[in-house]
């Protein structure tokens, strides 16, 4: 007779890890009890963050400038969030600590990896043109691509991302997925490059170029502001802008876009994003790439999406709605997210990807035996 009390080893390991963590942070003695550990995994991050906000009496974010601050917390705000970290980690545990669980859930399925660039593969830097990743990360990406279909999904233009990464084995989805190319044996500058898979907003190029020139002129008077052209979208960076000038910068950008109703504005980490008003984002790009790989309606795929910004939430949401794979948020502070797990920074992303490669090599070797 089958023993009904047998506990899955991965699940048991996860509970033990959580109990140890909770004990070490005194959470079991305060807001979390041992009996509650089994059921909290079904709660989404929004519910948690809503509770945290209510407990602090935070005012609801209503204005555009408040939105800029919310997406780009100051140092003091980051320090304030440290108080929320222990509870937040219970709902969004480290992907490194839960690595065994992740690969256990992927058993029998094809892993496909999707990676943001800035803040995920490279550190966030003041000068966007100097967001270089390490050679160790590049070597790791090359290994990952040898074992799993791999795509870089970035708000940067496709060519800029490729110039940073310089690996032909990958899929590249630039401009928030509006410009997608597949792996090629060699890169080509020809317009009709056969590697082009999809360009969702080609008709917007003249308008994007026009707005770029206007924004460059309009923002000249704001010290530290820079406008970056990412082909099918624009980025107005305010990482080097004094916070007292954020309102002025935001107003200038919005005044320009009033004349271009076919473009929309969103916020990221110290950046304002201008994109065509079409139903396309990083989540749509993820779905398109899965379809291109033959996994559009497949139950035998396990997508892993790793990103650090608000724009990556579109991909996290797609994974939740599909009920497939996992989202991993790269962040050192609590954020509202639909990702399942977290990593602290690009160095931890590199460690996670290396462990995936090692796991795949070992499992392949055992299979051959």
How would you class 280 by CB atoms within 10 Å of its CB: exposed for 0-12, middle for 13-18, buried for 19 or more? Answer: buried
Answer yes or no: 129 catalytic: no
Length of the chain in terms of residues written: 369
For residues 345 and 123, is the Cβ–Cβ distance under 8 A? yes
For residues 282 and 180, is the Cβ–Cβ distance under 8 A? no
For residues 143 and 360, is the Cβ–Cβ distance under 8 A? no
Kindly name the residue from 116, 118, 143, 314 that is annotated as catalytic: 116
Active site residues: 116
């Amino acid at each position: 007779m089958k023993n009904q009390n047998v506990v899955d080893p991965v699940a048991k390991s996860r509970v033990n890890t959580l109990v140890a963590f909770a004990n070490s942070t005194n959470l079991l003695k305060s807001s979390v009890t041992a009996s509650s550990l089994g059921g909290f995994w079904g709660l989404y991050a929004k519910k948690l963050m809503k509770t945290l906000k209510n407990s602090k009496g935070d005012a609801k974010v209503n204005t555009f400038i408040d939105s800029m601050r919310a997406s780009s917390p100051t140092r003091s705000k980051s320090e304030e969030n440290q108080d929320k970290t222990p509870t937040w980690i219970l709902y969004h545990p480290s992907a490194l600590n839960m690595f065994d669980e992740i690969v256990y859930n992927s058993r029998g399925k094809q892993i496909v990896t999707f990676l943001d660039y800035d803040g995920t593969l490279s550190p966030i830097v003041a000068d966007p043109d100097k967001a270089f990743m390490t050679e160790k990360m590049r070597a790791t990406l090359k290994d990952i691509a040898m074992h799993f279909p791999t795509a870089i999904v970035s708000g940067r233009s496709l060519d800029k991302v490729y110039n940073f990464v310089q690996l032909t084995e990958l899929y590249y989805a630039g401009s928030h997925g509006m410009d997608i190319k597949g792996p090629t044996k060699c890169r080509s500058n020809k317009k009709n490059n056969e590697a082009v898979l999809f360009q969702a907003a080609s008709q917007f190029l003249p308008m994007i170029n026009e707005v770029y020139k206007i924004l460059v002129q309009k923002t000249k008077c704001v010290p530290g502001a820079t406008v970056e052209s990412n082909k099918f979208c624009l980025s107005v960076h305010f990482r080097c802008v004094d916070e007292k000038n954020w309102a002025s910068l935001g107003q200038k950008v919005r005044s320009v876009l009033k004349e271009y109703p076919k473009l929309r504005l969103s916020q990221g980490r110290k950046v304002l994003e201008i994109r065509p008003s079409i139903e396309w984002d990083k989540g749509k790009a993820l779905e398109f790439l899965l379809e291109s790989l033959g996994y559009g309606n497949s139950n035998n795929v396990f997508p892993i999406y790793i990103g650090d910004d608000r724009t990556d939430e579109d991909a996290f949401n797609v994974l939740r709605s599909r009920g497939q794979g996992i989202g991993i948020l790269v962040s050192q502070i609590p954020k509202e997210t639909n990702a399942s797990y977290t990593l602290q920074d690009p160095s931890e992303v590199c460690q996670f990807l290396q462990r995936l490669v090692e796991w795949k090599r070992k499992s392949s070797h055992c299979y051959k035996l």
